[in-house]
Amino acid sequence: MAEPTQIADIVSLTGLTPHTTELVLRPIERSILFKPGQWLSLQLPFGDHPPLNRAYSLAEPPSPTGHLTLVYDHVPEGKGSCYLSSLRTGDRISLSGPYGRFVLPDPDSKNLLLIGRYSGLVPLRCMILSLARQGPLPPTTLITQAPGPAEQLYHEEFIALAKSHPSFRYLPLVSDDPTNMATTIAAIRQVAVKGQNFTPMIAGIKSFTRPLRTLFMELGFDRREVRLETYD
Ligand SMILES: Cc1cc2nc3c(=O)[nH]c(=O)nc-3n(C[C@H](O)[C@H](O)[C@H](O)COP(=O)(O)OP(=O)(O)OC[C@H]3O[C@@H](n4cnc5c(N)ncnc54)[C@H](O)[C@@H]3O)c2cc1C
Protein backbone atom coordinates (compact mmCIF):
# COMPACT_ATOMS: atom_id res chain seq x y z
CA MET A 1 0.00 0.00 0.00
CA ALA A 2 1.27 3.49 -0.84
CA GLU A 3 2.55 5.51 2.09
CA PRO A 4 0.93 8.94 2.52
CA THR A 5 2.69 11.93 1.00
CA GLN A 6 3.73 14.75 3.30
CA ILE A 7 5.81 17.92 3.30
CA ALA A 8 9.29 18.09 4.81
CA ASP A 9 11.53 21.04 5.63
CA ILE A 10 15.07 21.01 4.36
CA VAL A 11 17.18 21.27 7.49
CA SER A 12 20.57 21.26 5.78
CA LEU A 13 22.44 20.56 2.56
CA THR A 14 26.09 19.61 2.90
CA GLY A 15 28.59 18.67 0.22
CA LEU A 16 30.25 15.39 1.21
CA THR A 17 32.49 15.09 -1.85
CA PRO A 18 32.80 17.30 -4.98
CA HIS A 19 29.83 15.48 -6.57
CA THR A 20 27.67 14.27 -3.67
CA THR A 21 25.40 16.12 -1.26
CA GLU A 22 23.85 15.14 2.05
CA LEU A 23 20.27 16.34 2.44
CA VAL A 24 18.70 16.38 5.91
CA LEU A 25 14.90 16.60 6.03
CA ARG A 26 12.39 17.10 8.80
CA PRO A 27 8.90 15.79 8.01
CA ILE A 28 6.41 18.29 9.37
CA GLU A 29 3.25 16.18 9.55
CA ARG A 30 4.28 12.83 11.05
CA SER A 31 7.50 11.04 11.79
CA ILE A 32 8.66 8.29 9.50
CA LEU A 33 9.74 4.99 11.03
CA PHE A 34 11.99 2.96 8.80
CA LYS A 35 14.40 0.05 8.69
CA PRO A 36 18.02 0.64 7.67
CA GLY A 37 18.26 -0.03 3.92
CA GLN A 38 14.85 1.43 3.08
CA TRP A 39 14.25 4.47 0.87
CA LEU A 40 11.98 7.48 0.47
CA SER A 41 10.21 8.68 -2.65
CA LEU A 42 10.67 12.39 -3.33
CA GLN A 43 8.00 14.07 -5.44
CA LEU A 44 9.84 16.85 -7.23
CA PRO A 45 7.89 19.70 -8.89
CA PHE A 46 9.98 19.46 -12.01
CA GLY A 47 10.02 18.04 -15.54
CA ASP A 48 7.49 17.78 -18.37
CA HIS A 49 4.93 15.89 -16.29
CA PRO A 50 5.48 16.81 -12.64
CA PRO A 51 5.84 15.49 -10.08
CA LEU A 52 9.06 13.74 -10.93
CA ASN A 53 9.37 10.80 -8.52
CA ARG A 54 12.85 9.86 -7.43
CA ALA A 55 13.95 7.31 -4.81
CA TYR A 56 16.68 8.04 -2.25
CA SER A 57 17.94 5.63 0.39
CA LEU A 58 18.22 6.66 4.01
CA ALA A 59 21.84 7.20 4.99
CA GLU A 60 21.45 7.22 8.78
CA PRO A 61 19.40 5.08 11.15
CA PRO A 62 16.32 6.59 12.80
CA SER A 63 17.22 9.40 15.20
CA PRO A 64 15.33 10.93 18.16
CA THR A 65 15.03 14.22 16.21
CA GLY A 66 13.04 12.44 13.47
CA HIS A 67 15.39 13.96 10.89
CA LEU A 68 15.88 11.95 7.71
CA THR A 69 19.28 11.93 6.02
CA LEU A 70 19.63 11.26 2.30
CA VAL A 71 22.69 11.47 0.06
CA TYR A 72 22.56 11.95 -3.69
CA ASP A 73 25.19 12.04 -6.37
CA HIS A 74 25.02 14.71 -9.06
CA VAL A 75 24.17 12.69 -12.18
CA PRO A 76 25.32 14.72 -15.21
CA GLU A 77 22.14 16.24 -16.72
CA GLY A 78 20.09 14.09 -14.34
CA LYS A 79 16.69 15.75 -13.92
CA GLY A 80 16.09 14.82 -10.28
CA SER A 81 19.57 15.39 -8.96
CA CYS A 82 19.84 18.74 -10.83
CA TYR A 83 16.58 19.82 -9.16
CA LEU A 84 17.85 18.75 -5.73
CA SER A 85 21.00 20.82 -6.35
CA SER A 86 18.82 23.93 -6.74
CA LEU A 87 17.30 23.57 -3.25
CA ARG A 88 18.32 25.62 -0.21
CA THR A 89 17.94 25.26 3.55
CA GLY A 90 14.38 26.18 4.54
CA ASP A 91 12.86 25.06 1.24
CA ARG A 92 10.19 22.37 1.36
CA ILE A 93 9.81 19.10 -0.45
CA SER A 94 7.12 16.40 -0.79
CA LEU A 95 7.98 12.86 0.15
CA SER A 96 6.51 9.51 1.05
CA GLY A 97 7.88 6.30 2.49
CA PRO A 98 9.52 4.29 3.76
CA TYR A 99 9.70 1.67 1.02
CA GLY A 100 11.81 -1.31 0.15
CA ARG A 101 12.86 -4.77 1.23
CA PHE A 102 16.62 -4.27 0.96
CA VAL A 103 17.08 -4.62 4.71
CA LEU A 104 19.35 -6.56 7.03
CA PRO A 105 18.76 -10.32 7.24
CA ASP A 106 17.58 -11.82 10.51
CA PRO A 107 19.88 -10.88 13.38
CA ASP A 108 22.92 -13.10 13.80
CA SER A 109 21.91 -15.39 10.95
CA LYS A 110 24.91 -14.73 8.73
CA ASN A 111 28.03 -12.71 8.16
CA LEU A 112 27.56 -9.75 5.84
CA LEU A 113 29.29 -8.98 2.56
CA LEU A 114 28.16 -5.49 1.55
CA ILE A 115 29.13 -4.08 -1.84
CA GLY A 116 28.25 -0.59 -3.05
CA ARG A 117 29.10 1.49 -6.08
CA TYR A 118 29.32 5.23 -5.25
CA SER A 119 25.98 6.39 -3.78
CA GLY A 120 25.02 2.70 -3.63
CA LEU A 121 26.94 2.85 -0.38
CA VAL A 122 24.14 4.92 1.21
CA PRO A 123 21.76 2.11 2.33
CA LEU A 124 24.73 -0.05 3.34
CA ARG A 125 26.11 2.72 5.52
CA CYS A 126 22.74 3.03 7.25
CA MET A 127 22.80 -0.70 8.04
CA ILE A 128 26.38 -0.59 9.31
CA LEU A 129 25.73 2.42 11.58
CA SER A 130 22.60 0.79 12.93
CA LEU A 131 24.49 -2.43 13.79
CA ALA A 132 27.42 -0.49 15.29
CA ARG A 133 25.04 1.40 17.59
CA GLN A 134 23.79 -1.90 18.98
CA GLY A 135 27.27 -3.17 19.98
CA PRO A 136 30.17 -4.96 18.32
CA LEU A 137 29.51 -5.43 14.61
CA PRO A 138 28.85 -8.97 13.36
CA PRO A 139 31.54 -10.12 10.92
CA THR A 140 31.05 -7.64 8.08
CA THR A 141 33.04 -6.85 4.95
CA LEU A 142 32.30 -3.67 3.03
CA ILE A 143 33.61 -3.35 -0.53
CA THR A 144 33.10 0.06 -2.12
CA GLN A 145 33.73 1.28 -5.64
CA ALA A 146 33.98 5.05 -6.10
CA PRO A 147 34.41 6.85 -9.42
CA GLY A 148 37.51 8.68 -8.14
CA PRO A 149 39.64 9.05 -5.00
CA ALA A 150 37.90 12.31 -4.04
CA GLU A 151 34.48 10.69 -4.41
CA GLN A 152 34.91 8.00 -1.76
CA LEU A 153 31.86 8.54 0.41
CA TYR A 154 32.37 8.25 4.19
CA HIS A 155 35.92 7.00 3.61
CA GLU A 156 37.38 8.34 6.88
CA GLU A 157 34.36 7.14 8.84
CA PHE A 158 34.79 3.57 7.62
CA ILE A 159 38.54 3.60 8.26
CA ALA A 160 37.80 4.67 11.86
CA LEU A 161 35.07 2.04 12.19
CA ALA A 162 37.44 -0.70 11.02
CA LYS A 163 39.89 0.38 13.73
CA SER A 164 37.31 0.28 16.50
CA HIS A 165 35.48 -2.88 15.31
CA PRO A 166 37.91 -5.74 14.56
CA SER A 167 35.05 -7.69 12.95
CA PHE A 168 34.57 -4.96 10.31
CA ARG A 169 36.66 -5.06 7.15
CA TYR A 170 36.67 -2.10 4.73
CA LEU A 171 37.97 -2.58 1.18
CA PRO A 172 37.71 0.73 -0.74
CA LEU A 173 38.27 0.56 -4.51
CA VAL A 174 38.30 3.26 -7.17
CA SER A 175 37.22 2.96 -10.81
CA ASP A 176 35.77 5.67 -13.04
CA ASP A 177 33.99 3.02 -15.12
CA PRO A 178 31.23 1.13 -13.28
CA THR A 179 31.54 -1.71 -15.80
CA ASN A 180 35.24 -2.13 -15.03
CA MET A 181 34.73 -4.79 -12.39
CA ALA A 182 38.10 -6.53 -12.38
CA THR A 183 39.33 -5.26 -9.01
CA THR A 184 35.89 -5.56 -7.42
CA ILE A 185 35.53 -9.15 -8.64
CA ALA A 186 39.04 -9.98 -7.42
CA ALA A 187 38.20 -8.55 -3.97
CA ILE A 188 34.96 -10.54 -3.83
CA ARG A 189 36.71 -13.76 -4.84
CA GLN A 190 39.20 -13.27 -2.02
CA VAL A 191 36.50 -12.67 0.56
CA ALA A 192 33.82 -15.08 -0.65
CA VAL A 193 35.46 -18.30 0.42
CA LYS A 194 33.35 -21.27 -0.58
CA GLY A 195 31.14 -22.67 2.13
CA GLN A 196 31.31 -19.53 4.23
CA ASN A 197 28.00 -18.49 5.65
CA PHE A 198 27.37 -14.92 4.50
CA THR A 199 24.73 -12.76 2.90
CA PRO A 200 25.82 -10.71 -0.14
CA MET A 201 24.05 -7.34 -0.42
CA ILE A 202 24.83 -5.17 -3.46
CA ALA A 203 23.65 -1.63 -4.29
CA GLY A 204 24.20 0.76 -7.17
CA ILE A 205 23.37 1.14 -10.84
CA LYS A 206 22.52 -2.02 -12.78
CA SER A 207 25.70 -2.09 -14.84
CA PHE A 208 27.40 -2.69 -11.47
CA THR A 209 24.89 -4.80 -9.54
CA ARG A 210 23.88 -7.33 -12.19
CA PRO A 211 27.32 -8.69 -13.15
CA LEU A 212 28.04 -9.11 -9.45
CA ARG A 213 24.87 -11.09 -8.90
CA THR A 214 25.95 -13.32 -11.78
CA LEU A 215 29.33 -13.74 -10.10
CA PHE A 216 27.74 -14.86 -6.83
CA MET A 217 25.55 -17.31 -8.72
CA GLU A 218 28.71 -18.72 -10.31
CA LEU A 219 30.09 -19.02 -6.78
CA GLY A 220 27.14 -21.24 -5.88
CA PHE A 221 24.57 -18.80 -4.49
CA ASP A 222 20.91 -19.07 -5.36
CA ARG A 223 19.66 -15.96 -7.21
CA ARG A 224 17.36 -15.07 -4.29
CA GLU A 225 20.19 -15.26 -1.77
CA VAL A 226 21.94 -12.33 -3.47
CA ARG A 227 20.19 -9.17 -2.32
CA LEU A 228 20.24 -6.27 -4.78
CA GLU A 229 19.19 -2.61 -4.64
CA THR A 230 19.34 -1.34 -8.20
CA TYR A 231 19.15 2.40 -8.73
CA ASP A 232 18.25 2.65 -12.44
C1 LIG B 1 15.50 2.07 -4.40
C2 LIG B 1 16.39 3.20 -4.92
C3 LIG B 1 17.22 3.88 -4.05
C4 LIG B 1 18.03 4.91 -4.52
N5 LIG B 1 18.86 5.55 -3.64
C6 LIG B 1 19.68 6.54 -4.09
C7 LIG B 1 20.57 7.21 -3.21
O8 LIG B 1 20.61 6.95 -2.00
N9 LIG B 1 21.37 8.17 -3.73
C10 LIG B 1 21.36 8.48 -5.07
O11 LIG B 1 22.13 9.36 -5.50
N12 LIG B 1 20.51 7.88 -5.93
C13 LIG B 1 19.67 6.93 -5.46
N14 LIG B 1 18.80 6.32 -6.33
C15 LIG B 1 18.75 6.81 -7.72
C16 LIG B 1 17.80 8.03 -7.80
O17 LIG B 1 16.46 7.63 -7.56
C18 LIG B 1 17.82 8.69 -9.18
O19 LIG B 1 17.58 7.72 -10.15
C20 LIG B 1 19.16 9.36 -9.45
O21 LIG B 1 19.34 10.46 -8.56
C22 LIG B 1 19.21 9.87 -10.88
O23 LIG B 1 18.04 10.62 -11.12
P24 LIG B 1 18.09 11.84 -12.11
O25 LIG B 1 16.69 12.30 -12.35
O26 LIG B 1 19.09 12.86 -11.62
O27 LIG B 1 18.71 11.20 -13.42
P28 LIG B 1 17.89 10.82 -14.75
O29 LIG B 1 17.55 12.05 -15.51
O30 LIG B 1 16.74 9.91 -14.38
O31 LIG B 1 19.02 10.00 -15.51
C32 LIG B 1 19.29 8.69 -15.12
C33 LIG B 1 20.47 8.20 -15.97
O34 LIG B 1 21.64 8.40 -15.21
C35 LIG B 1 22.32 7.16 -15.01
N36 LIG B 1 22.84 7.21 -13.63
C37 LIG B 1 24.10 7.54 -13.29
N38 LIG B 1 24.26 7.52 -11.97
C39 LIG B 1 23.06 7.17 -11.44
C40 LIG B 1 22.58 6.98 -10.09
N41 LIG B 1 23.38 7.16 -9.03
N42 LIG B 1 21.32 6.61 -9.92
C43 LIG B 1 20.49 6.44 -10.98
N44 LIG B 1 20.87 6.61 -12.27
C45 LIG B 1 22.15 6.98 -12.49
C46 LIG B 1 21.27 6.08 -15.26
O47 LIG B 1 21.88 4.91 -15.71
C48 LIG B 1 20.37 6.71 -16.27
O49 LIG B 1 20.87 6.49 -17.58
C50 LIG B 1 17.99 5.28 -5.88
C51 LIG B 1 17.14 4.60 -6.76
C52 LIG B 1 16.35 3.58 -6.30
C53 LIG B 1 15.42 2.87 -7.27
Query: What's residue 136's pLDDT?
Result: 87
> Under CATH, which architecture does the 6-99 domain have?
Beta Barrel (2.40)
- Any idea which fold 111-230 has? Rossmann fold (3.40.50)
Mutate to test the pocket of ligand 1, among 54, 72, 75 (most ligand atoms within 8 A of CB): 75
Contact 96, 43 (CB under 8 A): yes
Rounded (10°) angle between helices 155-164 and 121-134 = 30
Report d(CA 177, CA 141) in Å as an integer.
22
Ligand 1, atom 49, residue with closest C-alpha: 232
What tens digit of pLDDT does each residue of 140-194 get? Answer: 999 999 999 999 999 999 999 999 999 999 999 999 988 888 999 999 998 887 5
Asked whether the predicted pLDDT for residue 2 surpasses 80, the reply is no
Q: What is the pLDDT of residues 91-131, one digit of tens each?
A: 999 999 999 999 999 876 678 999 999 999 999 999 999 99
Q: Which residues are within 8 A (CB) of 157 and not within 5 positions of it... i.e. 6 or more apart?
A: none
**Ligand 1 center–CA 53 separation, angstroms:** 11
State how far the Cα of 206 lies from the Cα of 121, in Å rounded to an integer. Answer: 14
Cα(7)–Cα(95) distance, integer angstroms: 6
Domains in the chain: boundaries:
6-99, 111-230
Same fold? 6-99, 111-230: no
pLDDT tens string 44-74: 998 889 999 999 999 999 999 999 999 999 9
How many angstroms is it from 227 CA to the middle of ligand 1? 18
- Residues in a beta bridge with 56: 40
Task: Supply φ then ψ for residue 156, to 5 degrees.
Answer: -65, -40
- pTM score above 0.95: yes
Note the pLDDT of residue 59: 98
Radius of gyration of the chain (CA): 17
